[in-house]
Amino acid sequence: MKVGFIGLGNMGSALALAVSKTEGVEVLLSNHNQNQAEKVQAQAGGRILSNSELVQQADVIFLGVKPHVLFPLLKGLEDRLQHHPSAVWISMAAGISLEQLSQHLPASQIVRIMPNTPVAIGQGMTTYALINPELAAVTEQLLSKSGQVKQVEEKLMDTATALAGCGPAFVYQWIEAMMDAGVAHGLTADDAKYLAAQTLLGSAQMVLNSSKHPAQLRQEVTSPGGSTIAGVVKLEKEGLRYAILSAVKAAIKRTKELGRKTK
């Protein structure tokens, strides 16, 4: 299977590297910056082609360009698209719906995905939506080396984007704040980073491995009158929960705006 990537930014290059590890796949690369394409090729292998050459040869094409660039790109490839109607198109452009994509591509051949940056280390969370259920298998196969993959309804993709796609940035902010707290009270930056990151990693794994609600797991850490509950009360007082709710809401709103701006 020949799998092409148009656009090799942080997300496109990370997915190209993950997909290149799939057995039986040849990676084709295209990017406006030749140096970046060569850098990705050095890690993922494959061939560097122009957009038109890639579209003619690839069985599956990942679109890793910004939302405002996507439709001008597809318009410029209209002649080539007609010669390869069986190609599967996988878009990772935030806010761009399947309906919008189907104005330029065959609706039965489109998948909309939203990965997050941990795909670079095989620990990503990618959500996807599609019209043709027959494309689910190939989508999950190609993304299997990138981490976890989950299909969601199209109407929930903007929410999934805000939660999982934008979520790493919120988590990094939490780790950074925990580091600062540790340093403020005597830990070295390296030790504080290690303690904060491993605490997050272990706690997240507990949530995934347990059937308990996160609230119950939190209660199991908070002894009556102890230090943990003192910190929990302070977080509630300072509005941590509301801040997270607001951040996700703002990210959803912006994702929808990005989709509308391309119309």
> In the predicted model, is pLDDT for residue 6 greater than 70?
yes
Under a CB-based contact definition with an 8 Å cutoff, are residues 22 and 75 in contact? no
Under a CB-based contact definition with an 8 Å cutoff, are residues 221 and 228 in contact? yes
Q: Domains in the chain, start-ordered, CATH in brackets?
A: 2-151 (3.40.50.720), 162-259 (1.10.3730.10)
- Binding residue per annotation — 9? yes
- pTM score of the predicted model: 0.91
Cα separation, 228 vs 225, whole angstroms: 8
pLDDT on residue 38: 96
Q: Look up residue 95 and give its amino acid.
A: G
Averaged pLDDT of the chain: 95
Summarize pLDDT for 143-155 with one digit per residue, the tens.
999 999 999 999 9
> In the predicted model, is pLDDT for residue 262 greater than 80?
no
- Binding residue per annotation — 51? yes
> In the predicted model, is pLDDT for residue 125 greater than 80?
yes
Question: What contacts 175, CB < 8 A, 6 or more positions away?
Answer: 193, 196, 197, 200
Q: What is the 3-state secondary structure (H, E, C) of the chain?
A: CEEEEECCCHHHHHHHHHHCCCCCCEEEEECCCHHHHHHHHHHHCCEECCHHHHHHHCCEEEECCCHHHHHHHHHHCHHHHCCCCCCEEEECCCCCCHHHHCCCCCHHHEEEEECCHHHHHCCEEEEEEECCHHHHHHHHHHCHHHEEEEECCHHHHHHHHHHHHCHHHHHHHHHHHHHHHHHHCCCCHHHHHHHHHHHHHHHHHHHHHCCCCHHHHHHHHCCCCCHHHHHHHHHHHHCHHHHHHHHHHHHHHHHHHHHHCCC
pLDDT on residue 90: 98
- Binding residue per annotation — 6? yes
Q: How many CA atoms, within 13 angstroms, populate the side-chain half-sphere of residue 230?
A: 3
Residues in the chain: 263
- In this prediction, residue 259 has a pLDDT band, given cuts at 50, 70 and 90, of confident
- Binding residue per annotation — 8? yes
- Binding residue per annotation — 10? yes
Summarize pLDDT for 59-89 with one digit per residue, the tens.
999 999 999 999 999 999 888 887 778 899 9
pLDDT on residue 260: 81
* 147-168 mean pLDDT: 96
* 205-211 mean pLDDT: 97
> In the predicted model, is pLDDT for residue 162 greater than 80?
yes
- In this prediction, residue 241 has a pLDDT band, given cuts at 50, 70 and 90, of very high
Cα separation, 211 vs 209, whole angstroms: 7
pLDDT on residue 78: 85
